Structure formats: structure tokens, C-alpha cells
Structure 1
Amino acid sequence: MSEFASYPSLKDMPVVISGGASGIGEGIVRAFAAQGSKVGFVDIADEAGQELEAELREAGHTVRFTRCDITEIAAYQSAIRDFEAKHGAALALVNNAANDQRHSWDELTPESWDARIAVNLKQAFFAAQAVIPGMITAKKGSIINFGSISWMIMVPNLSAYTASKAAMHGMSRSLAKEIGQHGIRVNTLVPGWIMTERQLTKWVDAAAEKLIAESQAMAGRLYPDDIARMALFLAADDSKMISAQDFVVDGGWAHG
């Protein structure tokens, strides 16, 4: 038996998740499926997304995957409408997808800057735009935007990414005020350094392990499930009067 919470309000709830084929997103897809939610998720990784969909549907869950480049806004909003046609209007949107590819200040061009803003910020707003009408009709809903502690702790070689993630906090708060009277809440979920396959392959070396051990208040490492459990809470009715807030899940990292 699980030692973690089960949320009755998430059963049969239509949920849309971006970047759901791997890493944190995969953990979120699995967590909502286990709660009995009707999960629609998108990712650019077609094979991984199809495999996850097949696995979860075989286990009896209501899960649909659509291969989608979220920077192509019209196609992304169309995918969200397709999920709505099959599952009902989304009552939770998890704006998880992002790309934290490192970049130095002198290699960025206007085009590469715009591309990073598109994948890390712009698409999240237009996904929200696509689900808000259905939430207004339902008089309830939860939009969960993903921030990052990277800008808080001054991680270098990430200026376009950190600009996007810092902006996500402002976007969440403005949207929360704008649509809150319709019963829709908007919050920012802020992960610390999560041990995904991508992070472990690309950036978590001995020096990074030392930094994590010295910076986190808590021993141990953070994994996608740690983030998924916060996403469940923010989507569930248990958080129905919480909005315009930041929820930092980072093991108690020293923010300076």
C-alpha cells in the first residue's frame, strides 16, 4: 500500500501535461494516471510518448499521447482541443515542458534567444489560453506553471532559460488575479535539482554531487516523484483556495 496521498477529486479529472514522455513529466503523467485522472500529454519524443501511453493504457488507465512541438502554438492548442473532445475540458494544466540547454552569453543570437523563450515561456501562456475557457465554464481549474531555482541561485550559462523561468512567476501571479474570480487558481511549482536521466547524463558529475550535498538542507536527492506529488496537490481540490503562490521543492537549497 502506498504511503502517499490519494486525492478523490482527481479521479476522472481531465488533465493536460506538457513534456510528459520522460523525466519530471513522465513522473507527473504516471502520478495522475495512478490517481484515476484522464491524462492527455504531449511531447516531441514520439517513441517514448507512445510507449508510455501503451504501458499505462494496458494497465487500465485513461491516457492519451500526442506528438507535438509545443513551440508550434496552433498545433499545440489543437492537440489540447483534441484531448478536450475525448476526455472533457481540462480542469488541470501542468506546464512542465522546458529545455535547459546551457548557453554562454556570447553565443546567443536574437534567433536562439527567441527559440529558448518560445520553449520555456511562450508556449505555457498559450496552453493556458486554450484551457481557460473550459475552466471558466466549469467554474474551477488549476494551472501549474513550472519555475526553477536556477535563477534564484544564479546558475551561469543559462541566461535565456533563467529569464524565462523568472518570468513564469510573474505570469502566474498576473493570471491568478485575472481569472481567479472564475474559481481558477494559478501557481508556480519550482523544482530544485532533479535527478532525471538527462541531468545525470549531462551535468551531474562529482563536482555537482558535492554542490548538491553542500547546498541542500536535506540529505538525499530529488526525483521526479517528489515533484509529481506537489503537482497532484496543486491540481486537487485540497488546494482550492491556494493561488498566486510559489511552491519550491528543492530539498531546502540555500537560495542566498
Structure 2
Amino acid sequence: MKNLKDKVAVVFAASGEIAGAVARSFSAHGARVYVTARNLDAVKALAGDINADGGYAEAARVDALNETEIDNFLKQVVADNGKLDVVFNGIAAEYSEMGGRPPTTVATFRQFMAPMEKICGSQFLTSRVAAKYMMETGSEGTVLLLTSALSRSKLPNMAGITAASAAMEGLTRGMAAEWGGAGIKVICICPGAIMETKRISGWIEAAAENLHIPVEQLEAQYKVFDILKVGPTLQNVGETATFLASAPGVVFNSHIVDVDCGKLNIL
């Protein structure tokens, strides 16, 4: 079923695994997809895979923290298509950008603010520029944001990224309230730990080596709070994003949508 047939979708930070999965799903459901990132080679490869699978994708280098680049790119997308229907930003912050995981009493102000600036700042920029063009063209589109379950978790040495994750939820609700009159939906996707991603699997392997415990033991700790016997996959995230951007997904707006198959330790 082509839930996004004839839709025009832009995916920012598409060099990441989650954003890549979303772009693939958008295309599989009929959307014309534009994939962007600072790493042009990565998004060119993604676009090539999508086109080889029978979809339509174009790649471009866009820094999702540079409003001029964002604006110029979306302006061209609208000029080429006459509209903009869906935008997803998959940007994330690395622990290295926060100086690792220092205690809050040790972290510098810059380290604390780094995820706020990168995550919230980028989502603010891509969302507001997209909304402007959706309003100008009457697209009544969907703006999809990304956060993490840290917003509703209690973990030490994660103050900056936890605060940024919670801020994303507030930003979602505020923009949804502001742009709803123009028919624009704003929804935030919150995936659980996706074991197949390099981010999670790499962290588990490094932590297991550092703690001198088997990888399987650490994986089991990740899964101990799972309600079901299965966890989320990249495909699950992509399909969820597609549904939220589709006509039936209109029932979701201003919501934070968990994609985790249910977790006992997340509110």
C-alpha cells in the first residue's frame, strides 16, 4: 500500500541509520525523497540504494545546523515540486561532543549545552523553515522530529542530553499548537534502544570490554525492562514514521510517539 504516493519528503541528517530507515520507508510507500547530510557520499549511497529498489531519491549536502543551507535547499525542492509534504530530521549527538559522560558537577557549561544546541537547535531550524514553505504552498504537511527515551528516564551523568531530549517534547507541542491552524502536523518519534544500530551495538561492545563482562550479559540488561519478547527495529521506526506522515496518521498531532514495543522503566 502506497501511503505516501506522490508526496514530497525531505530527510535531514540522513547519513544516520534511523534517518536512513525512514527515508527508505518513505520511498517504499511512494514518496519522492530527498536525502541530505553533511556527508554527501553517505547520502549519495543511500539515494542509490533507494533508486535501485525502484524508488525515487536525490541526495544533497546540507548542514542541518545552517539555516541558510536549509532554506536554500527547501526552496529548491519546492521550486521543483510545487510543494513540501513531509520533513524528518534524524540528527543526534555523540557522547564525545559532551566530553563523554562526566558528572554534572564536572561537566562544563559548553558540554551541557552541546546536545541542546545540536539536537534542539537543528530541529528548530529545519522545522521552522519547512513550516514556512508548507504554509506558502498550502501543503498541510507533516513535520517529524526525533528524541530519545532519556526524556523520561533517570540515568546519571547524562544531564545535557536528557535535558535536550525533554526539550524536544516541549518544542513538538509548541510548534504543533502554533502551526495547526495551517493544517501542519508536528509529531516527535521516540525510539527505544535499537540493538541493530552501530550506536547501540558499538556502545555495548565497548562497555562490555571495559567492564570485563560478556556482551550477552550487557545486552540482557538492556532487555530486562522489555514488556514483550521483541524490541524495536529500524524497519519499525521507518514504518511508524510513514504512518504518522500518512492520511490515517492525522489522529496523531503534538504527540510523542514511543517506538519501543513497550518498556517497564519508561513513563
* TM-score between the two structures when normalised by the length of structure 2: 0.85
Q: In structure 2, what is the Cα distance between the partners aligned to 1:132 and 1:111?
A: 30
Is this contact kept in 2: 1:100–1:158, CA < 8 A? no
Q: In structure 1, what is the Cα distance between the partners aligned to 2:242 and 2:29?
A: 9
Any residues of structure 2 matched to 1:13-162 within 5 Å, and which?
13-101=7-95, 102-104=100-102, 105-106=104-105, 108-136=107-135, 137-162=137-162
Cα distance, 1:139–1:80 mapped onto 2, change above 3 Å: closer
Query: 1:53 is matched by which residue type in structure 2?
Result: A
Is this contact kept in 2: 1:19–1:43, CA < 8 A? yes
Q: In structure 1, what is the Cα distance between the partners aligned to 2:111 and 2:69?
A: 21
Is this contact kept in 2: 1:141–1:184, CA < 8 A? yes
1:139 Cα deviation after fit: 5.0
Q: In structure 2, what is the Cα distance between the partners aligned to 1:16 and 1:155?
A: 33
Cα distance, 1:82–1:158 mapped onto 2, change above 3 Å: farther
Q: Alignment RMSD, CA only?
A: 2.0
Q: In structure 1, what is the Cα distance between the partners aligned to 2:92 and 2:83?
A: 24
1:168-220 CA-partner distances (Å, limit 9, x unpaired): 11111111111111111111111111121222112364343122221110112
Query: Gapped runs of 5+ residues in structure 2?
Result: 206-214
SS at match of 1:240: helix
Q: In structure 1, what is the Cα distance between the partners aligned to 2:161 and 2:61?
A: 23
Cα distance, 1:230–1:175 mapped onto 2, change above 3 Å: same
Q: In structure 1, what is the Cα distance between the partners aligned to 2:156 and 2:36?
A: 29
Query: 1:111 is matched by which residue type in structure 2?
Result: R
Q: Does 1:203 align with 2:204?
A: yes
Q: Provide the residue aligned with 1:3 in structure 2.
A: none
Cα distance, 1:18–1:7 mapped onto 2, change above 3 Å: same
1:26 Cα deviation after fit: 1.0
SS at match of 2:150: coil
Q: In structure 1, what is the Cα distance between the partners aligned to 2:129 and 2:198?
A: 31
Query: 1:252 is matched by which residue type in structure 2?
Result: G
Moved more, 162-171 or 76-85: 76-85
Is this contact kept in 2: 1:38–1:87, CA < 8 A? no
Cα distance, 1:65–1:217 mapped onto 2, change above 3 Å: same
1:30 Cα deviation after fit: 0.7
Stretches of 4+ moved more than 6 A in 1?
none
Number of equivalent positions: 250
Q: Provide the residue aligned with 2:244 in structure 1.
A: 234
Larger CA Rg, structure 1 vs 2? 2
Query: 2:145 is matched by which residue type in structure 1?
Result: N
% same residue: 22
Moved more, 27-36 or 109-118: 109-118
Query: 1:48 is matched by which residue type in structure 2?
Result: A
Is this contact kept in 2: 1:33–1:63, CA < 8 A? yes
